[in-house]
């Protein structure tokens, strides 16, 4: 496994395992366990995925079997918008995430969206970080203008920004802004999230064939070579194994550019951060009473 170094010197694996839309607890715990067995050390969940407890189960099973220790793992979760109304609510929700996972601390915790009173929520995260409950703190879906304002304002700058990043939405400007503030980029939907149809693209297929790799592996490798952390999701064992097998080949500059030329310049996902209806939908989404 390769690692990136966060601004607080913490090492973060450059490839991890995402568990969005794996609501079934048994399936989630088993996938996490299989992923760790296959060599993954980073697991990405969120309070809103309602599977933090299942992630904890999978992690404990792997640790109990001696596959790795807790210290080898990098467990990420995220604060949902419902709990981003004030400092106290955020504090309580951070504690709830840790408790649900059954782990003593989380390695990374993110503001899931730049919504609600996210500055107050951030102060609760800064305090939890300083108390050692969270080993690193960061944000998600912070577009360049929002990230700039945030970094210029807060006491502790976010160490990571998890945003949509794949060849159809390369977000080059966003990466430059993150670099300016020493924020590590992390890609959600690195395989396209089930959209865009990359697996049928002739150019991607030709590059994959050249290295005797799959299109999925080429997509992941492309982001890794840009210094972006990737967290592909799969509930299929063969794909879990395939998606981590990306460290034995290197795309050349011409291939990197060819892949980047797929950029549409906008997100085709259902998460429409610039649309008022999407913001209102997030603000009203309740994940607990």
Ligand X SMILES: NC(=O)c1ccc[n+]([C@@H]2O[C@H](COP(=O)([O-])OP(=O)(O)OC[C@H]3O[C@@H](n4cnc5c(N)ncnc54)[C@H](OP(=O)(O)O)[C@@H]3O)[C@@H](O)[C@H]2O)c1
Binding site for ligand X (CB under 6 A): 18-20, 44, 140-141, 162, 188-194, 199, 216, 231-236, 239, 242-243
Asked if 76 and 16 touch (Cβ cutoff 8 Å), the reply is yes
Shortest distance in whole angstroms from residue 66 CB to ligand X? 26
Q: Between 154 and 241, whose beta carbon lies closer to ligand X?
A: 241
Q: How far apart are the first and last CA of the chain?
A: 40
* 133 or 273: CB nearest ligand X: 273
Closest contact distance (angstroms) between CB of 111 and ligand X is: 10
Q: Where are the beta strands (DSSP E) in 22-124?
A: 42-44, 74-79, 108-111
Question: Looking at beta carbons only, is 129 or 142 nearer to ligand X?
Answer: 142
Select 6 or 42, whichever has its Cβ closest to ligand X.
42
- Looking at the Cβ atoms of 185 and 216, the one nearer to ligand X is 216
Residue number of the CB closest to ligand X reads 18
Distance CA 21, CA 127 (A): 30
Structure tokens that stand for 90 in this block? 């955020």
Give the helix/strand (H/E) hosting 277: helix 276-284
Give min distance, CB of 272 to ligand X, in A: 12
Nearest distance from C-beta of residue 164 to ligand X, angstroms:
7
Smallest distance, ligand X to C-beta of residue 53, A: 16
How many other CB atoms sit within 10 Å of the CB of residue 101? 23
How far is residue 184's CA from residue 129's CA, in Å, rounded to a whole number?
Answer: 17
Residue of 49, 109, 118, 196 marked active site: 49
State the residue for tokens 């990197």: 256
* Cα–Cα distance for residue pair 32/152, rounded to 1 Å: 37
Of 130 and 227, nearer to ligand X (C-beta) is 227
How remote is the C-alpha of 149 from its chain's centroid?
A: 22
C-alpha closest to that of 161 among 2, 7, 1? 7
Q: Is there a catalytic annotation at residue 49?
A: yes
Query: DSSP for 211-257?
Result: TT--HHHHHHHHHHHTT-EE----S-HHHHHHHH--SS----HHHHH
Active site residue ranges = 49
């Amino acid at each position: 496994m390769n690692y990136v170094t966060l601004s607080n010197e913490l090492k973060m694996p450059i490839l991890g395992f995402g568990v969005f839309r794996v609501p079934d607890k048994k399936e989630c715990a088993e996938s996490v366990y299989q992923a760790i067995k296959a060599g993954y050390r980073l697991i990405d969940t969120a309070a809103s995925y309602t599977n933090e407890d299942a992630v904890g189960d999978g992690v404990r099973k792997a640790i109990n079997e001696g596959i790795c220790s807790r210290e080898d793992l990098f467990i990420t979760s995220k604060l949902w918008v419902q709990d981003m109304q004030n400092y106290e609510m955020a504090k309580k929700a951070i504690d709830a995430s840790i408790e649900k996972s059954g782990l003593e601390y989380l390695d990374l915790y993110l503001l899931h969206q730049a919504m609600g009173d996210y500055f107050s929520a951030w102060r609760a995260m800064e305090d939890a970080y300083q108390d050692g409950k969270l080993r690193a703190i960061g944000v998600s879906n912070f577009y360049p203008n929002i990230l700039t304002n945030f970094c210029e304002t807060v006491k502790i700058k976010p160490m990571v920004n998890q945003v949509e990043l794949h060849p159809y939405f390369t977000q080059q400007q966003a990466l430059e802004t993150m670099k300016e503030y020493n924020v590590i980029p992390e890609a959600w939907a690195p395989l396209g999230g089930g959209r865009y149809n990359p697996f049928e693209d002739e150019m991607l297929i030709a590059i994959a064939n050249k290295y005797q790799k799959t299109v999925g592996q080429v997509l992941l490798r492309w982001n890794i070579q840009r210094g972006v952390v990737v967290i592909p999701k799969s509930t299929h064992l063969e794909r879990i194994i395939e998606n981590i097998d990306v460290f034995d080949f290197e795309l050349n500059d011409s291939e990197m550019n060819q892949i980047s030329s797929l950029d549409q310049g906008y997100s085709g996902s259902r998460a429409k951060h610039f649309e008022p209806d999407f913001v209102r939908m997030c603000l009203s989404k309740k994940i607990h009473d």
